[in-house]
Each structure stands twice: as C-alpha cells, then as structure tokens.
C-alpha cells in the first residue's frame, strides 16, 4: 500500500454539513488535491447524515484520478439519529453485523473495492475487542479493508484492542489550542507501539473563537509569520508537524488555495524556541 500523503484531505464539510458541493465541484476539488500531491481522503460513514461518501464516490468516478494513486480512509461505529436513520438515541455499535454492514455500505458509496484504512470512530463502553478483531480480520482476508485504526481512543482503549488485532493509526484531536495528547501519554504510547498519529481539527479553535487565549497566541505568531514568511494557518500546521510523533494533519478546508497553503506548510523549518513560544502562549504560563 502506498504511504498516506503528509497532508490528508478531510471531507466532512464537502457536502451537507458544510459547503454543499455539487458532484462537479467535488470532482474539481479531488483533482486539485491530487495535483498538489494530496493523495489521502478522510471520510466517515456519518458525514453529511450518511450522504457525503456517496457524493464523493460519484465525483471520484467522474475524475481523471486512478484509484491506485489515492487512499481512502473511512470510519464506522457511530449510530447517529438523522433523516437517514431515525434512531431514538445516538449510540455506538461495534457488533460484527454493524461493522460488516458499514464497510459494505462505504465500499458501495465510495465506488471502490477496498478501504485503505478503516477507523473505529469513537470508543464504546460496550465494545468487545475479540468481536471487532474477528470481523475486521475477515474483511481483511476478503481484501475489503487494508488496515485498521481507531479515532479518539485513549492509550488503555488502544491497548485493549491491540491484544486481539493490529492497529496502525489513531486519529485524534490535536492542535496548538488542544495539546492534551502531548502531555497525557497518548502520543507517547502510540509512538512506543508504532501507531501512527493523525490530527483532526489541526488548527484548533484559533479561527473559531475570540478569546484571551486566542489573543495571546496571535500576539506571538504575528511576528513569527513575518519571520517565516507564512500565514497563521501555515504556522499552526508547522507547529503540529514539528512534533516528533510525525503527526499527519487532517485538513478540512474545501478551498483549493488553502489546500496548497497546507502542503506548503510542510516545508517550514520551525525553530525549537519558536515552538515553545507558541506553546507557552497557548498554555498561558511558562512550562513548569
């Protein structure tokens, strides 16, 4: 399997949950991403109320991109009440039947024969590792799933699953404004057990909120943007990429120009002292 691209394109807001792109617009964004050497696309069955995978699949079929040149990530496990599924309550389901049905449904919608990486979307208090392992291993033997990973799992939850099945990635929330995984042992454990790190919301809340914390960060990064000749979003990505866990940002933008900026951020050579200046600004106090 080809390695994932250093910047991963997240599709959560491509459809009903965001930009409401047409099939033609999705096709153009897929082709733009690939032209920028972004080959990995991140999905989840629930995106767009269970509609975005299907729209993406139609767009990809119309594109000039070969399936062998890209990687599809998708997630399963969340049962979300919506028009497509009028459930009484949001819950998690990691039964063999649900895993099987979710994968088969994603394969059909994405118009593909295999999923490069299947992620268990969120940990369930009722999940049984041996049931998950047995069904995933069946799917792997059938060639329908290449690798298994998790999303938003703690070290102990990962360890529980690892007793039964190999895990390759954990996609978790991590950014300058949400750096918990760098201090609670999660990234340390993942590095120790050779589990790759992907970060969703890699820009954090910096552009979403106007807070004292955001103001502190802005005061520090404004001169740094001039120093590194980059934008704020590029500096935030460069900060995340600097970490020794080799974190892969999942970028949710639907703008081709911002995708290019994300790719260009990987070339920024951040100095260690500046990394700590940004961290201190986020924390609001010096390191102990």
State yes or no: is 242 an active-site residue.
no
Contact 30, 57 (CB under 8 A): no
Cα dihedral angle (231, 72, 36, 235), rounded to 10 degrees? 20
- Of the residues 47, 50, 94, 206, only one is catalytic, namely 47
Cα atoms found within 13 Å of the Cα of residue 66, Cβ hemisphere only: 2
Lookup: tokens for 125:
């208090």
Contact 131, 151 (CB under 8 A): no
Q: Whose structure tokens read 């930009």? A: 19
Q: How many whole angstroms separate alpha carbon 275 and alpha carbon 153?
A: 26
Q: Whose structure tokens read 């690892």? A: 162
Lookup: tokens for 234:
């590029």
Q: How many whole angstroms separate alpha carbon 239 and alpha carbon 280?
A: 13
DSSP string, 34-64: HHTT--EEE--TTHHHHTHHHHHHHHHHHSS
Question: Where in the sequence numbering do the catalytic residues fall?
Answer: 47
């Amino acid at each position: 399997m080809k390695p994932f691209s250093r910047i991963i394109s997240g599709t959560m807001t491509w459809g009903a949950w965001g930009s409401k792109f047409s099939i033609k617009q999705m096709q153009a964004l897929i082709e733009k991403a690939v032209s920028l050497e972004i080959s990995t696309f991140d999905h989840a069955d629930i995106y767009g109320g269970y509609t975005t995978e299907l729209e993406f699949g139609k767009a990809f079929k119309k594109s000039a991109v070969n399936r062998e040149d890209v990687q599809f990530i998708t997630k399963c496990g969340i049962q979300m009440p919506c028009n497509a599924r009028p459930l009484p309550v949001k819950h998690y389901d990691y039964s063999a039947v649900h895993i099987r049905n979710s994968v088969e449904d994603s394969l059909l919608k994405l118009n593909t024969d295999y999923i490069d990486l299947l992620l268990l979307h969120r940990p369930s208090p009722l999940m049984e590792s041996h049931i998950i392992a047995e069904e995933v291993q069946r799917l792997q033997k059938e060639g329908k799933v290449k690798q298994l990973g998790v999303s938003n799992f703690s070290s102990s939850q990962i360890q529980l699953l690892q007793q039964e099945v190999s895990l390759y990635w954990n996609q978790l929330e991590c950014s300058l404004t949400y750096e918990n995984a760098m201090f609670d042992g999660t990234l340390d454990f993942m590095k120790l057990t050779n589990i790759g790190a992907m970060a969703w919301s890699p820009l954090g809340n910096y552009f979403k909120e106007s807070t004292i914390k955001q103001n502190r960060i802005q005061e520090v990064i404004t001169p740094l943007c001039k120093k590194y000749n980059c934008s704020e979003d590029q500096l935030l990505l460069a900060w995340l990429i600097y970490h020794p866990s080799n974190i892969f940002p999942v970028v949710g933008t639907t703008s081709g120009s911002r995708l290019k900026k994300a790719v260009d951020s990987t070339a920024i050579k951040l100095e260690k002292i500046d990394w700590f200046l940004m961290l201190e600004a986020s924390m609001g106090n010096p390191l102990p």
